[in-house]
Amino acid sequence: MPVNELGELYRRKELSPRSTVKVALDRIDAFNETVNAFRFVDREGAEKAAAESEARWMKGEPLGPLDGVPASVKDILWVKGWTTTYGSLVLADKTPATEDAPCVARLREAGAILLGMTQSPETGWKGVTDSPAHGITRNPWNLERTPGGSSGGAAAAAALGMGCLLYTSDA
């Protein structure tokens, strides 16, 4: 679902943040094992944020056009409470972030619902998403090919409808 259409559907109560997040999480469940688009999924956090967003929409008080939009971020950004590994074995056991990166904080302030982190090659620098820490991300249209990089996880997720807003640093 295009991001620019969600708000109007939420406003008219034809769709809800909870149902939109459920669809995204269901698609992650159905396809992630095959394509390896997501490194981490925060199901509990996403469902809680969706319920909060839905309450705002029901009162007619959304935070803005991104309120209730299922989103993900690449595994090179800090997200409070999540580990950021940069696709690296060296950084794989890193302590969870104590604060959000500024772009992540802005997404949250706007009401975007963070589903999880998409795959990145080690340190986010290659044209192929093949992390030594988390494996190879595959192209959903041909599993023998790459979806590219360094935001290949987000590219595969976008192709499969695993969210509506996928924050990348390229693709």
Whether 20 and 14 have beta carbons less than 8 Å apart is answered as: no
Greatest Cα pair distance in the chain: 48
% of the chain with per-residue pLDDT over 70 = 98
> Which distant-in-sequence residues (6+ apart) come within 8 Å of 165 by Cβ?
3, 66, 69, 70, 71, 72, 107, 112
Which residue has better confidence, 118 or 93?
118
**pLDDT class of 171 with cuts at 50, 70, 90:** very low
Whether 141 and 1 have beta carbons less than 8 Å apart is answered as: no
What whole-number distance in Å separates Cα of residue 6 and Cα of residue 17?
9
The CATH number assigned to the domain with range 3-167 reads: 3.90.1300.10
What residue ranges do the domains of the chain occupy?
Answer: 3-167
Residue 77 neighbours by CB distance under 10 Å: 21
Q: What's the confidence (pLDDT) of residue 93? A: 67
* Residue burial 14-35, b: 16+ Cβ < 10 Å; e: rest: ebbbbebbebbbebbeebbeeb
